[in-house]
Every structure is written in C-alpha cells, then in structure tokens.
Amino acid sequence: MKELIQYRTEEEVKIANAVFENIRISTEQAVYLYEHSDSIFCAWLANNVKEGKFGKKVFYNKNIHIEVSNICINKCKFCSFYRKKGDEGAWEMDICEIMDILAEKNIDEITEIHITGGLHPEKKLSFYIELFKEIKAKYPKIHLKAFTAVEIEYFAKSDKLSFEEILKILKTSGLNSLAGGGAEILDDKIREKLCPKKTKSQVWLDIHNIAHSLGIRTNSTMLYGHIENYSDRVFHMQQLRELQDKTGGFNCFIPLKYKSFGNSLEITTEISLSEELKNYAIARLFLDNIPHIKAYWPMCGKETAILALSFGADDFDGTIGNSTKIYSMAGSVSKPELSEDQIKELLSEAGFKAVERNSDYEIL
C-alpha cells in the first residue's frame, strides 16, 4: 500500500488509511475525492472495498419491467419519458393488457416484476390494488417491486390517507419492495429547478423510512450530471447514509446519469465516462452501510456497466426482456434485453463471477 500512495496528497493518504481501516469517510473527504482525486485512485480504493465484501461476484436477476403509462400530471424538466394524453408516443395500459404481456413472457424464468410509470390522472390506488392482486393470484411467487416515493405521495393525496396506510394497503395487495426512483437530488432548491411539482426531499426520505419500518425494503437512487455540484451529490448521499444508519432498509444504491436527449432541461452535454465511473467509486466509499451498488446497464450501456464493476459496483441488474423505455427514450440502450447466458458470458469475459440473486439479494 505504501508504494501505491507515496505520490498522493496528504489528504488522499488520510482517506486511503481510513478506507483500509474501515473508518467512515467524511462528507468533506468525499467532496475532496470529487474535486481533487483522479478516477484511478478512487477506483483502487472502491474496488478494494467491494472485493472485501463480495470478491469477484457480480449479482444479477431475471426481471422484466411493466411501464403502465408515460402519461403524467408532472412535467419534470429532465424527463424524456413524459407525455400528455393525446401526444404522439403516449401510452396507457389496462389490467388485461398487462396480464397479456406477462402471459407472453417466460414468467416461470422470472423472479421480479418491476412496475413503474407516470402519475396517470386516472390510475389511482384502486387500479394498482386490483392489478397486484391479479398478478399475485396467477404468479404467487413473483416479487413485485413497484413505485417510488412519488407515487406513494400521489396515492396518499388522492385517497386522503397517510403514507403508512397506503403502504400497508399495497403490501397486503402484494407489493414486496419499493423502487428507489424520484430521489433525483435531495435538495429542494435543485428540485425546484428540475421537478418543481415532484415530492419534496424530506417527504421522499419519510416515505422510505416508513416503508422500512413496515418491513418493505427499498432501493435508492441519485440522478446526477445536470445542474448539481459535487457538494450536492455528497449531501444527497449523506441523507441516504443517515437514513440507512437508522433503518437498514436500503438494498442498493443506483447512480443514474442524466441523459440529455428528448427533454426540456436544455443541457446538451453529458458528463464524461471518467467522471461517471469515478461517481460509482465515490458512492461505494461513502455509502459504507448500503451493501450493493448497481450499474444499471439499460441506462449506461453494457460496456460502461462492465467497467463500473471495477469502480465499486457489484450489481448488474437483470435480463430486462426488452421491457423498459425510460432510458431508451432518453437516448440510451434501445430494446434492452440480455439472456442469462449472455450476462454470464459478459461477466466471465471481464473476469467476474455471475451470481443470480433474488430481489432481496439472496443467492439462488
């Protein structure tokens, strides 16, 4: 180790010593890494942490997405998915259509259905209760991951119920876990510019806190590479780390790079590959209590996701089955789909061991 850090700054040496002694790095140190350290140094530290936890294992699952509708009452400036009713490219599914899609898929090979979509003005809580019950009646072993805190707030307002009541109803109806979207950057000054109608930062955190208290595990995300700065990213992750200290309910953290195509934010450039990879590494170092860091390949592409596995990421997401358009509509991977054999081959060629997991990260 001495040979590897002898040409580093005094602060980098302090950070490296903290990492190797399992001492939590501070917010100031995380900002320092963003502002002053190169991606290779960050990768070296993060990869040591990841391999200490998982060795060469990389997790994946067999999953599909159901995107019920892209019609939404919000119009977030960064969103390329949004359409209003009647727009070209707008869609909405009823329960029969969703069940038909599931019937067409090789559902016996799938362990997770991820349900998401916009805040449709007509699809309220009752629609999803019926949908979940039908899915669970036909596929009782499937894991239903659905909604962000944004939908939970929407249902609570629509039905005049508390967040806890909504989550209890959904859990009884078949919900197994919450997705981690809608977090963007957990700073209301930034949210006012990006997504002024969307759930406030503290509400997002409160809903995940309540979900964890009810035994509903969740993911967490960060949309980065737009108008935020490095301190904003660290502040965002600090709030996640503090909540995880309290509840232990986050399964994983998913960094989501802002994609510039097809939205109204008017940022035409995207962050570099080097900064994208460095962001994975710093997330691994800072979020010491969130076990898994996901490289979501439909967003970043298979090649970048493979690289991220050497920068602290340990999860590759899943097979997807060409079932999501959220990032393809933003200019990312079109028709995202990988077979299990393809995932194993990709990971093996990169020097990793593919390990199938369920939605709770139990090895299958």
For the stretch 38-63, pLDDT in tens is 999 999 999 999 999 999 999 999 98
- Please provide the average confidence, as pLDDT, over all residues in the chain: 88
> pLDDT tens across 181-233, in order?
889 999 999 999 888 888 899 999 999 999 999 999 999 999 999 999 999 99
Q: What would the two tokens of residue 109 be?
A: 């090979």
The pLDDT of residue 337 is above 90: no
Q: At what angle do helices 163-173 and 125-138 cross, to 10 degrees?
A: 30
143 residue type, one letter: H
Task: Report which DSSP code applies to 166.
Answer: H
Mean pLDDT confidence for 261-273: 76
Task: Kindly tell me if the per-residue pLDDT of 339 is higher than 90.
Answer: no
257, 299 in Cβ contact below 8 A? yes
| 5-41 confidence digits (pLDDT tens) | 667 899 999 999 999 999 999 999 999 999 999 999 9
- Using CA atoms, how far residue 296 sits from 144, 198, 277, 330, 334, in Å, is 19, 23, 12, 14, 14
Q: Is residue 111 part of a domain?
A: yes
Residue 320: inside a domain = yes
Torsion of CA 150, 152, 158, 163, to 10 degrees: -130
**Cα separation of 24 and 354, whole Å?**
29
- Asked whether 139 and 102 are in contact (CB, 8 A), the reply is yes
CATH number of the domain where residue 127 is located:
3.20.20.70
CA distance 265 to 316: 29
Q: Region 322-347: what's the mean pLDDT? A: 67
pLDDT tens, residue by residue, 220-263: 999 999 999 999 999 999 999 999 999 999 999 999 998 776 66
pLDDT tens-digit readout, 61-109: 998 888 887 776 666 555 565 566 666 767 677 888 888 888 887 777 8
Is residue 361 in a domain? no
Q: Is residue 362 part of a domain?
A: no
DSSP code, position 316:
E
pLDDT tops 80 at residue 282: yes
Domain count for the chain: 1
Give the per-residue pLDDT at 198.
85
Q: What percent of the residues of the chain are helix, what percent strand, and what percent coil, each to the nearest 5? A: 45, 15, 40
d(C-alpha 168, C-alpha 266), whole Å: 40
In a domain, 363, yes or no: no
pLDDT at 328 over 50: no
DSSP secondary structure code for residue 294 in this structure? B
| Contact criterion met (CB below 8 Å) for 41 and 8 | yes
Inside any domain, residue 178 = yes
Residue 325 lies in a domain: yes
- The domain in which residue 298 lies consists of 2-356
Are 320 and 67 in contact by the 8 Å Cβ rule? The answer is no
Q: Is residue 179 part of a domain?
A: yes
26 strand-pairing partners: none
Question: What pLDDT sits at residue 301?
Answer: 86
